[in-house]
Amino acid sequence: MTNKLRSRYGEWALITGASEGIGLACAEALAALQFNLVLVARRGERLEEIAAPLRQQHGIDVQVKPLDLSMLANNQLLCREVESLDIGLVVTSAGFGTSGEFVENTWTAEMNMIELNCISSAFLAHHFGQRFKQQQRGGLVLLSSIVSLQGIAYIGNYAATKAYIQSLGEALYAELKPYHVDVLTCAPGPVATGFAKRAGIEMSFAATSKVTAAGIVSALARRQRTVRPGWLAKCLSYPLEILPRSWRFPLIDTAMKLLLRHPKTPHGKSK
């Protein structure tokens, strides 16, 4: 696997959201495959704490870029700063969710989520997609979610940002394939990370970020279009896909009641 992915994509991988959760697990998995890494998130000190042991254990180069990617200008700055590196693989894992009634949340928070989850990922996919097309090799991993399959009450805007990413990723897979560029959309179910706390929800039956990262790496090796890492993501999503869209709503509502608690909703539970 080491030689396969590194020789397919090149020496450097860039990971956003690398200070925690799925992004961090991807950084660890790619370091084990001998990729040099560019790690991006807002907390610079945390990134340095992660970078030091990765350099030491794997003998790789690691650069850290403390940036708030919800601001487009910082995405542009990031692309300029890594121009001289042979980046061949990009994982856009920076993201967060809001929960509760959409109209009760501040517009600032909802817009910030669109800026990070959608605009940053789309901008980086556009920029690196162009670079990869030119060099006729590369890999792009976009973080979607199983909630991207249909509208879901009380995480409506979050699910909508993930529907955007899922749709974009599926299309780019086909557009970039002729140029030997792989585009993988990863749609996890619940994963135990910092995500739930920031979203103000509580999760049951969550997978680990390690299982999620391992799923991403093996799906890249197989050149898959979408991966749903772990048994729960598969069980929750595949049966739904064969049903007409209108039949899915009561089922997904029931599944969400079992899996998520939204303390901010009137009854303290998803409905």
Ligand X SMILES: NC(=O)c1ccc[n+]([C@@H]2O[C@H](COP(=O)([O-])OP(=O)(O)OC[C@H]3O[C@@H](n4cnc5c(N)ncnc54)[C@H](OP(=O)(O)O)[C@@H]3O)[C@@H](O)[C@H]2O)c1
Q: Which spans of this chain sit near ligand X (rule: CB under 6 A)? A: 16-23, 41-43, 46, 68-70, 93-97, 116, 143, 145, 188, 190-191, 193-195, 198
| CB 252 to ligand X: min, Å | 14
State whether the Cα torsion 91-142-183-78 is positive or negative. Answer: negative
Nearer to ligand X, 43 or 271 (CB): 43
Question: Could you give the count of Cα atoms lying within 13 Å of 178 in the half-sphere of its Cβ?
Answer: 2
Nearer to ligand X, 10 or 189 (CB): 189
Cβ-count burial 40-65 (b if 16+ within 10 Å, e if not): bbeeeebbeebbeebeeebebebbbb
38 and 116 Cβ atoms separated by less than 8 Å: no
| CB 137 to ligand X: min, Å | 25
Q: Which of 190, 192, 187, 188 minimizes the C-alpha distance to 208? A: 192
Nearer to ligand X, 22 or 227 (CB): 22
Residues paired with residue 91 on neighbouring β-strands, in sequence order: 15, 141
Nearer to ligand X, 36 or 98 (CB): 98
| CB 95 to ligand X: min, Å | 2
Q: Which of 228, 106, 114, 109 minimizes the C-alpha distance to 161? A: 114
| CB 226 to ligand X: min, Å | 13
| CB 165 to ligand X: min, Å | 8
Report the distance separating Cα 47 and Cα 32, nearest Å.
17
State whether the Cα torsion 17-19-62-224 is positive or negative. Answer: negative
Furthest C-alpha separation in the chain: 54
Helix (H, G, I), strand (E, B) or coil at 144: coil
| CB 242 to ligand X: min, Å | 22
Nearer to ligand X, 87 or 233 (CB): 233
Nearer to ligand X, 10 or 206 (CB): 206
Report the distance separating Cα 213 and Cα 28, nearest Å.
9
| CB 136 to ligand X: min, Å | 28
Nearer to ligand X, 40 or 181 (CB): 40
